Structure 1
Amino acid sequence: MNNISKKRNISTIIILAIVLIVPGFLYIALNKIGSNQYLKLPIYGEKVLTGKMNRKMGREIPDTLYHHVPSLALVNAKGDPTPFLNSDTVVTVVHLFSAKDEGLSKTLLSNLKPVVDRFKNIQKVKFYSISLNEKELNVDLASIQQLYAKDYPNTWFIVRPDSSIFEYVQKNFLIDAHANPDDTYSFSNNYLLIDTEGRIRGFYDINQNKEMERLQDEIKVQLVEEARNNPLKVEKK
């Protein structure tokens, strides 16, 4: 019986040690190794070190200037100016299309609709479908707006530029777009995800499987990052 009691006592001591020591060890390990680590999307484009250092969470981090997409003058289906990337509180999804194209353009518009529907009640997320036809009659945009985006007037904007934007697209969106001799357009089959600072955080190729699911997931990831970085920032309307 004494041996049994001793074994029970030893077992009890071991269990108590585990209960007391392991949580403390895990806490220290998490703070030392995994503190403040969460999923962040990459930032695309050229990066330039300024030579300065920023202190964050007790650590020195090199100050970096990232590729930035500037605002652009766009026009909606009614011919009214539509702001694009002029707010520092909006996460933006954008893609190109041609109002006369029934192929890639139609697919890009159709495949975006479920994503827009998923985030239709989140005013922080905006979607822009930009037609490359800067001289297109507004009636063409109006028909596309009616077909795809009529249920999302505050979220999904069917727009065109007020002048040629090919240089802008190639320089800032980092994708290809150009006019062909036969009055058609060649352009990227990607959607872009742009954060509130105008930085490109994702490219999503419509030809690759499950890219639309990845786009939805990474919009959520970006919203979490924005909330962490700007917990007190009030959205501008």
Structure 2
Amino acid sequence: MSNKFPLAKILILVTILAVPGFLYYLLQSKGENRYKPLPIFGPKEVAKTFTKKRGKKIPDTIFHVVKSFEATNQNGDKVLIDSIKKQLIVVNFFYSRSKDIVPQMYTNIKWLNKEFKDNKIVRFLSISVDPEFDNQSVLAQYAKQYDAVSGKWDFLSADTSVVYPLAKNQFFLNALEDKQNDGFIHSEKLVLLDAEHRIRGYYDATSAPEVKKMGDEMKILITEELRKIKAEF
């Protein structure tokens, strides 16, 4: 009986060991990870301008951009979304008197904030749908409860004539007063905006796995934004 290992088996073994490394090399592509970019949500329209790609003229797309709004944070400072430049923004709607959904949401948002607390490219905005009750004092206490630092994580209040249309027409989420049950109806979604204030994702803030997924996708978007900044120089 021959003790030689069959050539065919050797080739199979080499292939099994080599393929993962080869795929890793392809994905790295000279130090640049190839990843699937996050989608862009909201209405869009075809622009009159074109971009040339491989010799072909491709029409540019105009995507929905969240319009600017002004609100007051937990410190009494004015926050204007247009003043937030070159940062990703995590947005949610809430009201402090909620006893069920909102505390569950903020357990997960607090974790997400902690994950990115030292990353200057990430900003959090929590917008109250109950501004009559959620005054500066209430927001300050609420922010302290969740270790929120203004300028990084702002709890915001503005008139309902601003907030409700903002939620509906800009973020495509529900936000309204529930007079029958003496409460408010609002979405439990977290919304991820890129540096151009385009919507790049919706995530269920009551779900820890969903918020973990958001954290992973934020890292992808951070890479995308950093490459844009690098390309400017």
Q: How does the TM-score come out when normalised to structure 2?
A: 0.78
Structure 2 residue matching 1:210: 3-state secondary structure: helix
> In 2, distance between residues paired with 1:141 and 1:121?
23
Paired residue for 1:124, among 121, 124, 142?
121
> In 2, distance between residues paired with 1:58 and 1:87?
37
How much has 1:184 moved relative to structure 2? 1.3
> In 2, distance between residues paired with 1:232 and 1:116?
28
Q: Is residue 48 of structure 1 aligned with residue 55 of structure 2?
A: no
Query: Cα deviation per residue 1:73-123 (whole Å; 9 max; x = unaligned)?
Result: 111123221232433311000111002112111112221011111111111
> In 1, distance between residues paired with 2:109 and 2:208?
14
RMSD of aligned Cα (Å): 2.6
Structure 1 residue matching 2:146: 3-state secondary structure: helix
> In 2, distance between residues paired with 1:139 and 1:130?
15
Contact residue 108 and residue 208 of structure 2 kept, 8 A: no
Structure 1 residue matching 2:93: 3-state secondary structure: strand
Percent identical across equivalent pairs? 28
Q: Is residue 176 of structure 1 aligned with residue 187 of structure 2?
A: no
Letter in 2 for 1:216: G
Query: Cα deviation per residue 1:128-160 (whole Å; 9 max; x = unaligned)?
Result: 11111222332211110110134x333111111
Contact residue 73 and residue 162 of structure 1 kept, 8 A: no
> In 2, distance between residues paired with 1:36 and 1:105?
37
Match of 1:88 in 2: 85
> In 2, distance between residues paired with 1:140 and 1:122?
27
Query: Cα deviation per residue 1:175-205 (whole Å; 9 max; x = unaligned)?
Result: 1111111441101111000001111000001
Letter in 1 for 2:179: P
| Segment of structure 1 superposing worse, 205-214 or 180-189 | 205-214
Structure 2 residue matching 1:149: 3-state secondary structure: coil
Q: How does 1:132-147 map to 2 (within 5 A)?
A: 132-136=129-133, 137-147=135-145
Match of 2:220 in 1: 221
Match of 2:196 in 1: 197
> In 2, distance between residues paired with 1:58 and 1:214?
37
How much has 1:56 moved relative to structure 2? 5.2
Structure 1 residue matching 2:157: 3-state secondary structure: strand
- Matched residues, number: 203
Contact residue 109 and residue 205 of structure 2 kept, 8 A: no
Q: How does 1:44-83 map to 2 (within 5 A)?
A: 44-55=41-52, 60-83=57-80
Query: Cα deviation per residue 1:192-233 (whole Å; 9 max; x = unaligned)?
Result: 000011110000013556101111001101011112223155
Match of 2:164 in 1: 166
| Segment of structure 1 superposing worse, 222-231 or 91-100 | 222-231
Match of 1:6 in 2: none
How much has 1:50 moved relative to structure 2? 1.4
Query: Cα deviation per residue 1:33-66 (whole Å; 9 max; x = unaligned)?
Result: xx99532000001110013211357653321110
Match of 1:17 in 2: none
Moved over 6 A (4+): none
Structure 2 residue matching 1:203: 3-state secondary structure: strand
Structure 2 residue matching 1:167: 3-state secondary structure: helix
> In 1, distance between residues paired with 2:46 and 2:128?
35
Contact residue 130 and residue 158 of structure 1 kept, 8 A: yes
Relative to structure 1, the CA distance from residue 149 to residue 233 in structure 2 (aligned partners, 3 Å threshold; closer, same or farther) is farther
The structure with the larger Rg is: 1
